[in-house]
A and B are shown apart, each in its own frame.
Chain A
Amino acid sequence: MSLYIFYISNFLLLLCLTASLMQSSKIINNKIFTRPGVIVLAYVQLISILLSFLILTYLFLISDFNFDLVYFNSHSEKPLIYKFSGVWGNHEGSMLLWILILVLFNFLFALSRRISEQFKEITVAIQSIMIFGFVAFLFFLSNPFALNQNNFFDGIGLNPILQDPLLAIHPPVLYVGYVGFSLVFSLAIAGLITKEVDQQWASIVKPWVFSAWAFLTAGIALGSFWAYYELGWGGYWFWDPVENASLMPWIAATALIHCVLILQKRNVMQSWTIILAILTFSLSLVGTFLVRSGILNSVHTFASDPGRGLFILLFIFLILVFSFSLFAHNFEKINKTSSMGLISRGTGIQVNNWLLITILTIVFLGTMYPLATDLLLNKSLTVGPKYYSTTIAPIIILFLFFMFISPRLGWTDTKLYKIIIQLRYLIITSLTITLIISLYFELFNLTEILIIFFSLLLIISSVTASINFNKQNILVRTNLGQNLAHAGFGILMMAVVSNAVYSEERIYNAKVGDNLQLQKYIFSFDKIEQVEESNYNSLKAYFLMKKDGKLIDTFTPEIRFYSNPPTITSEASILHKFFSDIYLVMNVPQDQQSISVRMHIKPFMTILWLGTLMIIFGGVISASIRIGRFDEK
């Protein structure tokens, strides 16, 4: 039975290869194959990969250990949902998922209407060249359907850190983000080839760019959220190389959406848009490569295999060389000179795009520098979080300012002082609130104060801009997506800064009966229990949290002992209140008498996640605004 499945799945992969080859050929105007058409082939591509994916899922669900992949990454005792997410909790499976999404976007685009047939064919052809490349890579170098040569009774299992519902959906969501930009890339190349990168092109691209961006934001947020819950360190972002690998395309993508907006409204900034489109997708690919090749040491690496790394590097290299050569070649034919005034919305966006690129450089440099010093000078270096926060914080101040002021400026030259006067109440309110915060919370660091001030300006400005009454006194939706996302960003920045400044941590060695203090709360260590679950045993500690003698809540941090594979994890116990989280973690006990307990107060976490949600929804709303319209109001 397994043998049949082996043959069928590999056949499906080959089928996709063939269909993609035929799609790719349509890039040549002579049309070697007019039949089958673009849509039919797109169906074949989608169905072949979808079926392969479903088959792989089935193999995991029934725990068929005849297949290598299932053996190495699953176990019969695993809960069902984690058998399911085990499909993509490994290199080969996640590659197949990646390809599935690649093919899905291909399909959805092939179905679009109101796009010229020629343009559609070229875009789909580019997309299919990439599909071909990835499927070939999968088939020859990372085949998920490889058969197990031996007979094993049961699988090795999935790393328990990965057995978490959040982490189960993090890859798919993130991948929709990464891979969504493959289509944007294909559209950019098609634009270069047809030499038409104009307002209409921008209208076509816009919903794809916004959807991919929204998913990418959501994927990153999910990963960050998971880290906060699962890793037990109280943090949500560590500037870990793989986190950076997902952040870099996001930064480029944010610059890209703003370029697309300008392109659509004013028909300028063509070259920036194309460069950013290529860059965003390239960064998504480089992110993939860094994670899989083993050149980075990170919590994430799941395929330390330079051979595969070499292939992906080659692939990325070819794509980039081709696209940037094409860009250099067609540069003059697509570019229109900018005619935006000095003090204008366009300039504001341009400035912020450049700030984004600066931040991108910082993240890139921080991630790559240790590799460079190691390679070139044989010296090791660590680039930790402080590097990033010190260099990025001042930039964020400027960034927030331009985010605040640009939507208030016109597209042509505007008098700045007039705008300032118009917004005087806004500015005074923000200033007052900032001063109150600063005095009440004893915040005297200039960078932090400035970030809070400009975040407030941004938040209030975005909220008031979205509440607009027309002449009939009916609420009008103006740029809701933009304002929601911008307000969300302001909230996020305020929360990030406040959280960084006001987080507190205490570490204690505690025995049963001890009372531990954290700010105005006292935690009594009540008892410790042994618990048995289906795939782990745990030590569960009970802490009673009291304030002024009254019991508020019970915390139950755990240390879990898994058997497949043998791992020990520490589970945090978290209490969410609106303004802060309280976080309790046990460390693996050093001796029999006492355990080491960490207690954190993490202010504004809920608000932080709220800000992130607002950003995501802002993106979703902007994605749904109809194409074909140049004016949104």
Chain B
Amino acid sequence: MFRIIKIFIVLFLLQNNTIAEDPRAIELFKEVRCLVCQGQTIHESNAELAEDIKNLIREKISQGETDRQIKEYLVEKYGDWILMTPPFNSLTYVLWSFPFLIMIIGAFAIYRQKRGQV
């Protein structure tokens, strides 16, 4: 609802009919990887496939799909790697939890060492 109001305000403030890209769409574009580029998002890329997927996302937004639904669709077709941020699933448990573990180990080790000195 607020999104629609914001769009109307933006359109109202402009003196002509230049249309700005929907900020929500931009946010989504930044989270989707360009499949035929080197590490860019579809937001940054000029590739044709990137443009096609952007159009697809715009279409789905106007059909009322949520961000989550859109991402699920893309992952279904292209796999986890189309998302810029790795999801938290069985494939990525290690990735997300390892840093935390390292910190705990360090805290523990330093504490033990200081304890040992006293």
In their complex, do chains A and B touch, with some C-beta pair under 8 Å?
yes
A366 at the interface (CB under 8 A from B): yes
B76 at the interface (CB under 8 A from A): no
Q: A357-B106, A387-B95 are in contact. Are A299 and B26 (CB under 8 A)?
A: no
The CB with the most chain B CB atoms within 10 A, among A299, A351, A377, A382, is that of: A382
Q: Which of B39, B86, B98 contacts A361 (CB 8 A)?
A: B98
Bound-state Cα–Cα, A325 to B21, Å: 58
Q: Mark A494-529, 1 if CB is under 8 A from B, else 0.
A: 000000000001111111011111000000000000
A468 at the interface (CB under 8 A from B): no
Tell me the nearest residue of chain A to B92, going by C-beta: A381
- Specify which chain A residues have a CB less than 8 angstroms from the CB of B33 in the assembled complex: 382, 384
A303 at the interface (CB under 8 A from B): no
Docked complex: A350-365 residues within 8 A CB-CB of B = 350-351, 354-355, 357-358, 361-362, 365
Bound-state Cα–Cα, A282 to B117, Å: 33
Interface magnitude class on chain A: 35 or more
Q: Which of A233, A391, A505, A516 contacts B99 (CB 8 A)?
A: A391
Tell me the nearest residue of chain B to A507, going by C-beta: B21
Docked complex: B10-50 residues within 8 A CB-CB of A = 10, 13-16, 18-21, 26, 31, 33, 38-39, 41, 44, 46
Q: Are A373 and B110 in contact (CB under 8 A)?
A: no
Q: A297-B38, A517-B14 are in contact. Are A379 and B102 (CB under 8 A)?
A: no
Tell me the nearest residue of chain A to B81, going by C-beta: A380
Q: Mark B92-118, 1 if CB is under 8 A from A, else 0.
A: 101110110011001101100110011
- Specify which chain A residues have a CB less than 8 angstroms from the CB of B15 in the assembled complex: 515
B4 at the interface (CB under 8 A from A): no
Q: Mark A324-368, 1 if CB is under 8 A from B, else 0.
A: 000000000000011101100001001100110110011001100
Question: How many cross-chain pairs have Cβ atoms below 8 Å apart between A and B?
Answer: 125
Shortest beta-carbon distance from A405 to chain B in Å: 15
Q: Are A365 and B26 in contact (CB under 8 A)?
A: no
B57 at the interface (CB under 8 A from A): no
Bound-state Cα–Cα, A427 to B1, Å: 43
B80 at the interface (CB under 8 A from A): yes
Q: Are B99 and A342 in contact (CB under 8 A)?
A: no
Q: A338-B113, A354-B110 are in contact. Are A365 and B99 (CB under 8 A)?
A: yes
- Specify which chain B residues have a CB less than 8 angstroms from the CB of A507 in the assembled complex: 20-21, 26
Q: Which of B18, B95, B98 contacts A516 (CB 8 A)?
A: B18
Q: Are A506 and B20 in contact (CB under 8 A)?
A: yes
B5 at the interface (CB under 8 A from A): no
Shortest beta-carbon distance from B19 to chain A in Å: 7
Shortest beta-carbon distance from A412 to chain B in Å: 12
Q: Are A506 and B21 in contact (CB under 8 A)?
A: yes
Bound-state Cα–Cα, A297 to B82, Å: 15
Q: Are B18 and A515 in contact (CB under 8 A)?
A: yes
Q: A387-B86, A507-B21, A510-B18 are in contact. Are A238 and B39 (CB under 8 A)?
A: yes
Q: Mark A375-392, 1 if CB is under 8 A from B, else 0.
A: 001011111111100110
Q: Mark A387-409, 1 if CB is under 8 A from B, else 0.
A: 10011000100000000000000
Bound-state Cα–Cα, A365 to B95, Å: 7
- Specify which chain B residues have a CB less than 8 angstroms from the CB of A386 in the assembled complex: 31, 84-85
Q: Which of B81, B91, B94, B99 contacts A358 (CB 8 A)?
A: B99
- Specify which chain A residues have a CB less than 8 angstroms from the CB of B16 in the assembled complex: 513-515
Shortest beta-carbon distance from A543 to chain B in Å: 12
Q: Which of A298, A338, A590 contacts B117 (CB 8 A)?
A: A338
Bound-state Cα–Cα, A351 to B107, Å: 8
Bound-state Cα–Cα, A89 to B114, Å: 50
Q: Are B39 and A351 in contact (CB under 8 A)?
A: no
Q: Are B95 and A366 in contact (CB under 8 A)?
A: yes
B64 at the interface (CB under 8 A from A): no
Docked complex: A29-63 residues within 8 A CB-CB of B = none
Shortest beta-carbon distance from A244 to chain B in Å: 11
Q: Are B98 and A365 in contact (CB under 8 A)?
A: yes
- Specify which chain A residues have a CB less than 8 angstroms from the CB of B106 in the assembled complex: 351, 354-355, 357-358
Q: Are B95 and A298 in contact (CB under 8 A)?
A: no
A12 at the interface (CB under 8 A from B): no
- Specify which chain A residues have a CB less than 8 angstroms from the CB of B51 in the assembled complex: 590
Tell me the nearest residue of chain B to A525, going by C-beta: B18
Tell me the nearest residue of chain A to B22, going by C-beta: A507
Q: Are B85 and A384 in contact (CB under 8 A)?
A: yes
Q: A347-B110, A515-B18 are in contact. Are A383 and B86 (CB under 8 A)?
A: yes
Q: Are A361 and B102 in contact (CB under 8 A)?
A: yes
- Specify which chain B residues have a CB less than 8 angstroms from the CB of A358 in the assembled complex: 99, 102-103, 106
Tell me the nearest residue of chain B to A344, going by C-beta: B114
Shortest beta-carbon distance from B90 to chain A in Å: 10
Tell me the nearest residue of chain A to B87, going by C-beta: A381
- Specify which chain B residues have a CB less than 8 angstroms from the CB of A382 in the assembled complex: 33, 80-86
Q: A347-B114, A382-B84, A384-B84 are in contact. Are A299 and B38 (CB under 8 A)?
A: yes
- Specify which chain A residues have a CB less than 8 angstroms from the CB of B19 in the assembled complex: 508-509
Tell me the nearest residue of chain A to B100, going by C-beta: A391
- Specify which chain A residues have a CB less than 8 angstroms from the CB of B79 in the assembled complex: 379-380
- Specify which chain A residues have a CB less than 8 angstroms from the CB of B39 in the assembled complex: 238, 240-241, 297-299
Q: A347-B114, A354-B106 are in contact. Are A379 and B80 (CB under 8 A)?
A: yes
A-B residue pairs in contact (CB < 8 Å), sample of 29: A240-B39, A338-B113, A342-B114, A342-B118, A354-B109, A354-B110, A357-B102, A357-B106, A358-B102, A361-B98, A365-B99, A379-B80, A380-B81, A381-B81, A382-B80, A382-B82, A382-B83, A382-B84, A383-B85, A383-B86, A384-B41, A386-B31, A386-B85, A387-B96, A395-B99, A507-B21, A508-B20, A511-B18, A517-B10
Q: A387-B86, A514-B16 are in contact. List 4 more A-B contacts (CB 8 A).
A: A361-B102, A366-B95, A387-B85, A508-B21
Residues of chain A whose beta carbon lies under 8 Å from any beta carbon of chain B: 233, 238, 240-241, 297-299, 337-339, 341-342, 347, 350-351, 354-355, 357-358, 361-362, 365-366, 369-370, 373, 377, 379-387, 390-391, 395, 505-511, 513-517, 587-588, 590
Residues of chain B whose beta carbon lies under 8 Å from any beta carbon of chain A: 10, 13-16, 18-21, 26, 31, 33, 38-39, 41, 44, 46, 51, 79-86, 91-92, 94-96, 98-99, 102-103, 106-107, 109-110, 113-114, 117-118
